[in-house]
């Protein structure tokens, strides 16, 4: 145990040893990632459907539910435990109505108010609206626009349409960030999260609400994608794994904020405003974040890159900052020698998605990786969205579901460096499947055990979900690495779109979502056995090398140019971590 603690501390020490400039940029950037977690899970309380019944035409004189009577509907909600029961009301004009959730019946014979009635009834639709139980929530979007009965499907589209915006936003803003720079996209998306977040609270109908939430999803997803790239390009090699992994931790903290604000604020539009202003400090200072030297160099903006490096030097108290002109001359020499070695490959083949299926070994690897991405996202959101339906205190449940992620990323970082990527991924995927089965076997009245098991399921799927980012990048060669990670991320977004529909299957069978997640996790875990281990192995440059890493002699019939030296970028990265001895 002592040695394990020492190893964990030594790994964490690399993360905590960031230079002053990198630390400020990192924590400023990932702080806004909380808003992504906030908006992704905000609908669990915003779109909740409370108990409701059909409205009635007139004023009530008495209410009856079985043998319990009251003078108003508000007094009867605590006694109404089943939606199959109707409520009998007598109006001041003597009429007696039986109120169901989606219809109402008027008794033809108005005798003394009794719950059982065998006479004739006239059935009417709910033309006078609905009455809602407001003991927990004063107002939700469901009660605001009557998204019940024949309009229930509109309420069920709220989260899937948001996740569709997440998918589209990741694609659009990821491309824009490569074209216009990370800094501009971070400015726009962080400001957009605040503006659209506030705008959601002031939408005037359901359709404007969905459209604005869709735009909010796009900018939230765009920020999260670009933030990963942004912090990775500023953080040194030693801390890169920890830094990128713990962006997820701040996302989880956003989920915890949702639980806290949901507990304190019970009106949906006020709740939305409080969630949106939670990260206002970042919006006010995000314009101070610099562009990354990596992107500036890729765009040949050497003077701007030199300004950023000089700023880093002043913050980190480095006495001899590096010069871009010297580094670029080294890189140009490397590129020139590369061209002389391989003049016949000047017209390099442009790679596409089909290169991920160039032979059976790579194709099997791609299918497995895509399945893991999909399963990780599906399980993550199924456990998160289902937490409010586990019984007990739904706010505490969601808070714990978010809190359990914080240690899981530390475990993932340590395990993937000590045991290996594959050897960590396999047991946690299979463990997720076993936990799904365990939850199905726990009696429904054991709420505490069910909540603990769900936390364990979220923990195990969180480890797998966080690990797959780095593992995918290491499984594929340089020429298709971005394509592989991008396509995997796309499958992740598909899983997030499917997850809400999977949760809705609880109405068919309460364990249906867990069954689907368990099957997918078990299948993914078994297929992962066939993937190669990448711990301690150099990154591959060609599809031939990637195939050989899988111990398959088949190769792709192509010739790829040698990888050019990235001397300039590597020296800048080393400079970012450098300190003079007097600063220690």
Most distant CA pair in the chain, distance: 102
Q: Give the other-Cβ count within 10 Å of 116's Cβ.
A: 6
Closest CA to 576 of 21, 14, 11, 12: 21
Mean pLDDT by 10 residues, the chain (584 residues): 33 49 81 88 90 84 78 75 76 84 84 78 87 89 92 91 89 80 87 93 94 94 82 70 78 92 93 89 79 78 79 72 60 48 47 80 90 93 87 87 88 85 92 94 88 92 85 80 78 90 89 93 93 82 78 42 42 44 38
pLDDT for res 466: 82
- b/e sequence 212-230, b meaning 16+ C-beta within 10 Å: bbbbbbbbbbbbbbbbbbb
Task: Starting at the earlier edge strand, list the strands of the sheet with 96-99.
Answer: 68-70, 60-65, 87-91, 96-99, 104-107, 121-124
pLDDT for res 11: 39
Strand partners for 96: 90
CA–CA distance, 92 with 59 (Å, rounded to integer): 6
SS (H, E, C) 168-220: HHHHHHHHHHHHHCHHHHHHHHHHHHHHHHHHHHCCCCHHHHHHHHHHHHHHH
Q: Is 317 left (phi over 0), alpha (psi -120 to 50) or beta?
A: left
CATH of region 1-50+138-325: 1.20.1250.20
Distance of CA 211 to the CA centre of its chain: 20
Own/partner long-range contacts of 298-304 (Cβ < 8 Å, ≥24 apart)? 299/181, 302/328
How is the chain split into domains, by residue range?
1-50+138-325, 54-135, 354-548
Sign of CA dihedral 60, 62, 64, 70: positive
Cβ-contact 257, 400 below 8 angstroms? no
pLDDT for res 350: 62
The set of residues, in sequence order, having a beta carbon less than 8 Å from that of 8 and lying 6+ positions away, is: 410, 414
CATH (one of 1.20.1250.20, 2.40.50.140, 3.40.50.300, 3.20.20.70) for 354-548: 1.20.1250.20
The two three-digit tokens of residue 289, written as one number: 């974040």
Burial class (CB in 10 A: 0-12, 13-18, 19+), 260: middle
The set of residues, in sequence order, having a beta carbon less than 8 Å from that of 472 and lying 6+ positions away, is: 369, 373, 484, 485, 488
Strand partners for 106: 97, 122
CA–CA distance, 496 with 31 (Å, rounded to integer): 23
pLDDT for res 7: 35
pLDDT for res 236: 62
pLDDT for res 578: 42
* Alpha helices per DSSP H over 52-205: 141-145, 152-156, 158-180, 182-201
Distance of CA 342 to the CA centre of its chain: 44
* Alpha helices per DSSP H over 100-157: 141-145, 152-156
pLDDT for res 1: 31
pLDDT for res 4: 33
Sign of CA dihedral 405, 160, 52, 206: positive
């Amino acid at each position: 145990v002592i040695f394990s603690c020492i190893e964990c501390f030594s790994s964490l020490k690399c993360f905590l040893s960031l230079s002053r400039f990198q630390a400020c940029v990192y924590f400023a950037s990932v702080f806004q990632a909380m808003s992504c977690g906030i908006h992704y899970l905000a609908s669990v309380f915003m779109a909740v459907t409370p108990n409701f019944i059909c409205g009635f035409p007139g004023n009530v004189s008495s209410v009856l539910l079985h043998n319990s009577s009251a003078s108003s509907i508000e007094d009867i909600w605590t006694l109404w435990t089943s939606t199959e029961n109707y409520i009998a009301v007598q109006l001041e004009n003597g009429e007696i109505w039986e109120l169901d959730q989606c219809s109402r019946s008027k008794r033809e014979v108005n005798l003394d108010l009794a719950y059982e009635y065998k006479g004739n009834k006239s059935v009417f639709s709910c033309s006078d609206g609905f009455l809602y139980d407001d003991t927990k929530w004063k107002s939700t979007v469901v009660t605001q626009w009557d998204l019940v009965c024949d309009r229930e499907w509109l309420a069920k589209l709220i989260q899937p349409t948001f996740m569709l915006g997440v998918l589209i936003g990741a694609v659009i803003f990821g491309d824009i960030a490569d074209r216009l720079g990370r800094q501009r996209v971070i400015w726009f998306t962080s400001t957009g999260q605040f503006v659209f977040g506030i705008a959601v609270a002031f939408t005037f109908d359901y359709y404007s609400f969905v459209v604005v939430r869709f735009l909010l999803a796009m900018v939230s997803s765009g920020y999260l994608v670009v933030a990963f790239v942004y912090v990775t390009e500023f953080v040194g090699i030693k801390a890169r794994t920890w830094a990128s992994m713990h962006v997820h931790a701040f996302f989880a903290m956003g989920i915890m904020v949702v639980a806290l604000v949901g507990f304190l604020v019970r009106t949906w539009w006020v709740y939305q405003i409080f969630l949106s202003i939670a990260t206002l400090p970042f919006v006010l200072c995000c314009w101070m974040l610099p562009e990354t030297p990596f992107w500036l160099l890729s765009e040949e903006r050497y003077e701007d890159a030199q300004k950023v490096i000089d700023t880093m030097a002043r913050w980190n108290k480095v006495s001899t900052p590096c010069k871009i002109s010297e580094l670029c001359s080294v890189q140009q020499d490397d590129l020139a020698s590369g061209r002389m070695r391989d003049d016949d490959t000047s017209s390099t083949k442009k790679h596409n998605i089909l290169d991920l299926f160039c032979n059976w070994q790579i194709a099997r690897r791609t299918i497995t990786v895509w399945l893991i991405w999909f399963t990780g996202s599906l399980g993550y959101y199924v456990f998160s969205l289902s937490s409010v339906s586990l019984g007990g205190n739904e706010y505490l449940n969601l808070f714990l579901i978010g809190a359990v992620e914080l240690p899981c990323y530390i475990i993932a970082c340590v395990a993937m460096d000590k045991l290996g990527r594959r050897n960590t991924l396999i047991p946690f995927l299979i463990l997720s499947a076993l936990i799904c089965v365990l939850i199905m076997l726990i009696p429904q009245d054991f709420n505490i055990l069910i909540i603990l098991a769900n936390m364990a399921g979220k923990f195990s799927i969180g480890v797998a979900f966080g690990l797959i980012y780095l593992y995918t990048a290491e499984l594929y060669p340089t020429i298709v690495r971005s394509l592989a990670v991008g396509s995997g991320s796309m499958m992740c977004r598909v899983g997030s779109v499917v997850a809400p529909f999977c949760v809705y299957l609880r109405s068919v069978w309460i364990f249906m979502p867990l069954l689907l997640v368990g099957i997918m996790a078990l299948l993914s875990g078994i297929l992962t056995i066939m993937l190669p281990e990448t711990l301690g192995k150099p990154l591959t440059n060609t599809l031939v090398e990637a195939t050989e890493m899988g111990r398959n002699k088949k190769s792709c019939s192509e010739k790829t140019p040698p990888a050019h030296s990235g001397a300039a970028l590597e020296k800048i990265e080393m400079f970012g971590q450098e300190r003079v001895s007097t600063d220690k």
